[in-house]
Structure 1
Amino acid sequence: MFYAGLALNGLAIGCVAALAAVGLLATYRVTGVFNIAFGAIAVFCAYVMWQCVRVWGMPVGVAAVLVLGIVAPGIGLALERLVYRPLRRAGASGLLVATLGVLVLQLGLVFLLWGGRSSVDAPSLLPAGDVRLPGALRLPFATIVELCVVALVAAVLTVVLKATRAGLMVRAVVDDRDLAAALVPADRLAAAGWAFGSFLAGLAGVLWAPVYHLDPYSLTLTVLETMGVAVLARLTSLPVAVGAALAIGVGQTELTAVHPAPRWQGLVDAFHTNLFVLVLFAALMVLPRLGIRDAGAIGGGLHRAGARRPSSPDPVSRLPLGALSLASVLPLFFDPADLRAALAVPALAVVFVSLVVATGYAGQISLGQAGYAGLGALFMAKLADGGVPWLAALFLGPLLVVPVGWFTGAVSVDKGVAIHRRGLYLALTTFATAAVVARFVFAQPVFVGGLTVFRPPGFTDDHWFYGLELACLVLALLLVRALHTGPLGRALAALRDSEAAAVSAGVDVRRMKVFVFACAAGLAGLGGALTASAAQAFNPTDFDPVQGLVWFAAVAVWGVDSAVGAVVGAAALVAVDAGTVVGVSGLLIGVGAVLLGRFPGGIGAAVRRAGHWLATPAGRPVGKRRLSPAGRAVATRLRAGRTG
């Protein structure tokens, strides 16, 4: 049944989604970078708008000119000049992590400046009132304005990119910037593209904030879910993106008229409120590939500088075990409040180690670890409530997450396109999986309502529970050691460095990917179960998909191929959050991720390089140590000839 009145309401939602999708596509078409930080830019601009109007008392028009005319384009110009221009030779992996760093950095700023508070009084930029249509229908003025803006932006971009000299120059810059720089102002074109894309992000955030309440994580995720529209357009067609956004917006409101049996109403409501994330997930499942300029597995790009050879010892074995043991037991001597905060460290470290397995060792980027961790916590709590002994439930819950990881890995290599589903495409797939789990599982009372999480007798004391967490962390590190050594470690290294070369060497890429995702999902599930048990509650915000992006950026900063770095990074993240105000950790992680393109390998690689430099005897040239016996003989004859 089609209801015209509901369809008109859906146009308003579709228009804002279309603006967001057009902004993503415009940035990608002009710069060649898929801007995952788009949602964070939108949220930051929405908060600035709220600050100008609600706190400083500016008129809405003046605030709109300031935010959309100065702040939003200024963010794009600053990012292009300070972040993306220096990284234009970093490859797809460096640029992808840089966009994640920008996202985390801006969310950190939001938390630092506004405390992450949610607001329901975001100012509306659009006029009130409506137009009367035949059949007693009313079309709001706001919807008319949004439709005109979307149509104008899409039409202008289509004409400029396809039928003008400027569009030809833009395509030349995206295809080969160094070559095009000799003929066209490449830097200016890229700066204009980033400024325009940030303007559209700010516009989408300002328009969407009054519809959805102003919240850092929720609004960011809402904007990011519109990536499904860009995916449907294969990152190439602006008209398809606009049409798809409008159709999804109309479909979302039409679902409000569906009233099935009461037992199914909750499911229909979930579809109604989360149609965009469903489209994102379904599009990634169906489309075999996108119009993505992808450089391959991201893990290799992140760790290439300072990387270890596949046959080198496991990083865990290189760690001064005495120092690690001493640091790990120190919280047992903390006061009760500090010990309670320290309970989060081993649990988060297990989740971080799962990222090392998936991305650092196998090169398969995963932005969905928050979803796996939340499922592990949920399954553990359900099993314990059902009468399963708690210690058994602690490990059985994560085992039930393994099939979810297996499914993700199987999807990434489905239909024989393993060489193509990697990098950005794989990142979007794993993020969409986490978003679907968050919206359809963690946000549904039928699954989490009335859920109780407890610790069994013997582990109610924080000291004993912390000891159990350390034991679980040791088990996770032992698994990492097993995966990093021997033939399996060499196969994972080949998969990380080059999937094509791994296939040529006889590695079963499909089976290896599925195995890696299953292991990583199980480890993340264990970390999530420990997190919920430490807090003695299941909190869906702890497993928000945007939180998973922060975790990935943190692991990348500390060294995505270092299990030790993952443990230290988890401890540092918890310590900064506990010892400072909210937002500082996001700023530090964001800055580190942005700089990762200039200093590949993260902090772990920097420490290894520093250790190698310190181990070099003073005054002894490194080059002489690397000469073979024949080379030394030649060098001796050359010196003798010069002295003679």
Structure 2
Amino acid sequence: MDQFLTFGIVGLSTAAIYAVIGSGLVLTYTTTGVFNFAHGAAGMLSAFMYWQLTVGWGWPVPVALVVVLLVLAPGFGLLVERFVLRPVQALGEAERLVMTVALLSGLIAAARWIWDPNVARPLPMFFAGRKPFHLGPAVITWHQAITMAVAVAVAIGLRILLYRTRAGAEMRAAVDDRALVGLTGADPVRAGRVSWILGTQLAAIGGILIAPTVTLDAAQLSLLIVSAYTAAVFGRLRSLPLTFLGAVVVGCMESYLTGYLPQNDYLPGLRLAAPALLLFLALLVFPHRRLRGRERRLARVPVPSARGTLVFAAVVITFGAILASLLGEADLITYGAIFSLGVVALSYVPLAGYAGQVSLCQLSMAGIGAVVWGHLGAHGQLWALGAAILVSAAAGALVALPALRLSGVYLALGTAAFAVILDRWIFTIPAFHVFGLRIALFDQGSVDISGPHLFGLRLDSGRELMVFAAVCLALASIGVAALRRSRFGRRLIALRDSEAAYATLGGNLLVAKVAVFALASGIAGLGGALYGMQQRTVTADQFSLIAGLPIFLVAVVGGLGAVGNGLFAGTAFVGPTNALIAVAPGTANLVALLPGLAGVGLGHNPDGIVSRFRRQWEPLARDRIALPALLCVLALAWALRFGDVIDDWTYYGGSLLLAVALRAWADARQAAPAEPEIPVEWWGLRREWRPEDEEVLARGVAAG
């Protein structure tokens, strides 16, 4: 009984921290309508700053607390509100969610840059030298007592602020209708600003309180937010009392699992994954809002032509063959991921670009594909690649089953929880037997992966695997383009525009979501298998939630509705970053920041870069003089580089400069006065009827 009470006290002190952090989440969501995925990262950054001031520079604790909580945290909240969230406030929920994911990725990279993750940074507890006091048989430290007292004070203060003050009423009203709040004389911008300041301060308090009890690590502290997510979901992102109740459940569960969970090889990861598992279950059990209606911003999804898709596929294969012929063996392993991770990024196109389903576990699905291929395809059997795709698709369908009642932020939370469960528990389980069949994942280590047999040949060199991955990316791109032109693809677009309208008109939401999740996960599984082949050995850390965020952000920046996004995302994520590190090794930390910075810039170009590239380079593709000239010169330059007449920088730099110059020339040749805007009722009369006009009209009528 004494042990039970002791673990209960520990659980309550941890619950108090989760309650403080979770209440900050609820505050910002209730008052601004933005679910802040970077909330935990703000607390992590505050904890590092507190360590720097107190331990690193020797400042007195009270002074450091004042500086962090009253100067740095509010300043950071103001910067985020003004320069990150306000530009996308008028966009849809998905764009705002992506901005906070980008902020999470960027803050983790920044913290690892400033504070070397290989250096231990212990942080003392408050009043660590004072003798603890007893509550019956349980021993309570001063740090635990302060933590619980702070949680109680935060609960009382927030309740008074939100429901007993004019500022609180403005903050709650601003999320429902900002324009209407402005008509009453209130200032919705000021309300949002106050919300972000308070939310960031609560995250800072939670980060400082929990940092002495855990390792001061950027990723670990940021992912502690999963427990706070669970507490906030208990409160359905609106109720502070239920959020505190959820925090108690999570904190006590973690503490009692630590004390009473049986010791064997299969269960240690369960304790680490328990908050994410509870979050996933809470999302399934608790009621949420109804099916979303029309999005605030309807974006047109381009319909790729069959001819254009085939040309693009040929370009992908040619690009892969050129790289394979010029790179050395070490560079082939590094840059080969352009095409394998490009396949993973392509999986976002049907899922998020067509169907509007935000998933943060696609790289985890790629990990499943890599594991299945590594074990079943150890001898290169090509059928094992199909098995990797099918098993990954089955895992995606499993995630999609509860997706019928989840959308928007709830769906993103559910997929993030699933990724954390895989990271912390499933991928760490050693091999086991089921009905005499041995099941092995990463087996608490790494998995060796080899290439496949194809037409009697063993593809095992870096060059062969790069070309094979390029061919797979080309074929997958053709399939995704065909999906967009199909009837099912149009149904997915309708599902994205309005789930409620889709269901009202007879669409089966469960079938559609399960099908698109399975399809996207199968594509990701293919990418994971290809990535494993090229890396030769993979570990579970390579497929974690944190590792997948930059790929997701680069795919979003490229434009989730564009079929060419797979090649763009793979090239942008792998190519320039590794090239920059090779030229200037000291820029590795700066390179890690780039995906987050690119994601933050989404508000200035919400449609993505790929569509803009396509518009800019289309004149060159249509020019009958410039395009053949470019192809001939590129072929000559490749021959010179292959013969070592010129070096890499001359080849790549010269090719790029020539392409830019010819594009500008072709653009000038084809320049014509802009056609006046023709009203929709005159389409087919004053201008030629286009194949995509029918879908544009149908979507406009349905959305209206």
TM-score (norm 1): 0.88
Tell me the residue number matched to 1:636. none
Shift of 1:542: 1.1
Residues 572 and 450 of structure 1, relative CA distance in 2, 3 Å threshold: closer
Tell me the residue number matched to 1:623. 676
Identity value in percent:
31
Shift of 1:147: 0.7
- Give the conservation status (yes or no) of the 8 Å contact 2:11–2:253: yes
Alignment of 1:200-239 (within 5 A): 200-239=202-241
- Residue 552 of structure 2 aligns to a residue whose secondary structure is helix
Unaligned 5+ segments in structure 2 are 432-440, 582-586, 620-666, 688-704
Unaligned 5+ segments in structure 1 are 633-644
Matched residue type, 2:363: A
Q: 2:345 aligns with which of 339, 348, 352?
A: 352
Separation in 1, partners of 2:277, 2:685: 65
- Out of 489-498 and 423-432, give the one that drifted further: 489-498
What do residues 65-91 of structure 1 show as CA deviations (whole Å, max 9, x unaligned)? 332222221111011111222322113
Tell me the residue number matched to 2:435. none
Do structure 1's residue 362 and structure 2's residue 355 form an aligned pair? yes
Matched residue type, 1:215: D
Q: 1:426 aligns with which of 389, 407, 411?
A: 411
Shift of 1:228: 0.8
Separation in 1, partners of 2:110, 2:415: 26
Separation in 2, partners of 1:442, 1:173: 43
- Give the conservation status (yes or no) of the 8 Å contact 1:118–1:213: no
Tell me the residue number matched to 1:189. 191
- Give the conservation status (yes or no) of the 8 Å contact 1:314–1:484: no
Separation in 2, partners of 1:534, 1:215: 30
Tell me the residue number matched to 2:600. 594
Separation in 2, partners of 1:186, 1:625: 38
Residues 149 and 602 of structure 1, relative CA distance in 2, 3 Å threshold: same
- Out of 96-105 and 119-128, give the one that drifted further: 119-128
Separation in 2, partners of 1:78, 1:343: 38
- Give the conservation status (yes or no) of the 8 Å contact 2:26–2:232: yes
Separation in 2, partners of 1:405, 1:167: 41
Separation in 2, partners of 1:518, 1:629: 39
The higher-RCO structure (CA 8 Å, 6+ apart) is 1
Q: 1:393 aligns with which of 384, 396, 409?
A: 384
- Give the conservation status (yes or no) of the 8 Å contact 1:49–1:123: no
- Residue 447 of structure 2 aligns to a residue whose secondary structure is coil
Aligned length: 613
Tell me the residue number matched to 1:146. 147
Shift of 1:134: 4.8
What do residues 176-212 of structure 1 show as CA deviations (whole Å, max 9, x unaligned)? 1122124113222211110111112222223323322
Residues 618 and 527 of structure 1, relative CA distance in 2, 3 Å threshold: closer
Matched residue type, 1:398: I
Residues 355 and 187 of structure 1, relative CA distance in 2, 3 Å threshold: same
Matched residue type, 2:417: A
Alignment of 1:314-463 (within 5 A): 317=309, 320=312, 323-332=315-324, 333-384=326-377, 389-413=380-404, 417=405, 421-446=406-431, 447=441, 448-449=443-444, 451-456=446-451, 458-463=458-463
- Residue 561 of structure 1 aligns to a residue whose secondary structure is coil
Separation in 2, partners of 1:305, 1:486: 19
What do residues 294-348 of structure 1 show as CA deviations (whole Å, max 9, x unaligned)? 6667xx95xx45642x5x5269618555644443223211123222211211110
Separation in 2, partners of 1:271, 1:629: 62
Tell me the residue number matched to 1:637. none
Tell me the residue number matched to 1:15. 16
Matched residue type, 1:289: H
Separation in 2, partners of 1:411, 1:190: 32
Tell me the residue number matched to 1:464. 464
Matched residue type, 1:453: D
Separation in 1, partners of 2:148, 2:291: 31
Shift of 1:293: 11
- Give the conservation status (yes or no) of the 8 Å contact 1:93–1:295: no
- Give the conservation status (yes or no) of the 8 Å contact 1:130–1:138: no
- Give the conservation status (yes or no) of the 8 Å contact 1:28–1:35: yes
Residues 398 and 122 of structure 1, relative CA distance in 2, 3 Å threshold: farther
- Residue 124 of structure 1 aligns to a residue whose secondary structure is coil
Shift of 1:259: 5.5
Do structure 1's residue 529 and structure 2's residue 535 form an aligned pair? no
Separation in 2, partners of 1:522, 1:322: 23
Separation in 2, partners of 1:321, 1:250: 54
Matched residue type, 1:156: G
Shift of 1:11: 2.1
- Give the conservation status (yes or no) of the 8 Å contact 1:14–1:247: yes
Separation in 1, partners of 2:217, 2:382: 37
Residues 225 and 526 of structure 1, relative CA distance in 2, 3 Å threshold: farther
What do residues 337-370 of structure 1 show as CA deviations (whole Å, max 9, x unaligned)? 2222112111101110111121112211111112
- Residue 622 of structure 1 aligns to a residue whose secondary structure is coil
Do structure 1's residue 278 and structure 2's residue 277 form an aligned pair? yes
Shift of 1:38: 0.9
Separation in 1, partners of 2:365, 2:12: 35
- Give the conservation status (yes or no) of the 8 Å contact 1:376–1:400: yes
Alignment of 1:85-164 (within 5 A): 85-114=86-115, 117-124=117-124, 126-128=126-128, 129-164=130-165
- Out of 346-355 and 122-131, give the one that drifted further: 122-131
- Give the conservation status (yes or no) of the 8 Å contact 1:556–1:593: yes
Tell me the residue number matched to 1:560. 560
Separation in 2, partners of 1:390, 1:219: 42
Do structure 1's residue 604 and structure 2's residue 610 form an aligned pair? yes
Matched residue type, 1:208: I
- Give the conservation status (yes or no) of the 8 Å contact 1:532–1:539: no
